[in-house]
Chain A
Amino acid sequence: MPYYQTWEEFARAAEKLYLTDPMKVRVVLKYRHCDGNLCIKVTDNAVCLQYKTDQAQDVKKIEKLHGKLMRLMVSKETHSGSMETD
């Protein structure tokens, strides 16, 4: 599966994939200090979305999405309206 070139596209696709079946989706974050890169993967074992970066400014964005998905996972309603706001 190819890497996404732009963050916006990736974030949108990742949220959409999560909302289709929250129970199946996992989010994987991989950080390599020695090579200085960070990779985020969102997959439900059928579709796999990936984004890779070596820019320090992307850490914030990735961490933000990570947190957003975490909050969605613990919120009781699976289809919360918060995703539609942006």
Chain B
Amino acid sequence: MVLLENDSFLTELTRLFQKCRTSGSVVITLKKYDGRTKPAPRKGHSETFEPADNKCLIRASEGKKKISTVISTKEVIKFQMAYSNLLRAHMDGLKKKDKKSKSKKTKAT
């Protein structure tokens, strides 16, 4: 797992999407992150670690390649704009809008 800066994460993510065009899939995981780098101590041990509650961790993987990045409050707006554009641009292998699809979908269980 490679921890990248926000910008280089996006470029790498683009590469992952290009890689999966022929086969395989891209998996993106989003999780709240408190900045912890060591495991939580067992009971009875004092903890000096103070969790921060304004970060989130994004991991992406395609096959064997794995990348990750940490996003904090300051960067979220900028990152999210670029990120959502990237997702929308690359998730283009789905079926185009079909008015009948809605009724079909509810039937197929």
Contact = CB atoms under 8 A, between A and B. Distances in A.
A57 B99 CA distance: 11
Interface string B48-92: 000001111010000000000001110010001001100110111
A83 interface: no
A23 B34 CA distance: 8
A33 B97 CA distance: 17
Given A25-B31, A28-B29, A30-B27, A5 B76 contact: no
B103 interface: no
A37 interface: yes
A79 to B, nearest CB: 11
Given A5-B109, A34-B22, A70-B76, A29 B28 contact: yes
A74 B73 contact: yes
A71 B96 CA distance: 29
A3 to B, nearest CB: 10
A60 B88 contact: yes
B71 A74 contact: yes
A33 B90 CA distance: 9
A55 B98 contact: yes
A38 B95 CA distance: 11
Interface in B4-50: 17, 20-34
Contact of B94 (A30, A59, A70): A59
Contacts of A38: 91, 94
A11 interface: no
Interface of B: 17, 20-34, 53-56, 58, 71-73, 76, 80, 83-84, 87-88, 90-98, 101, 105-106, 109
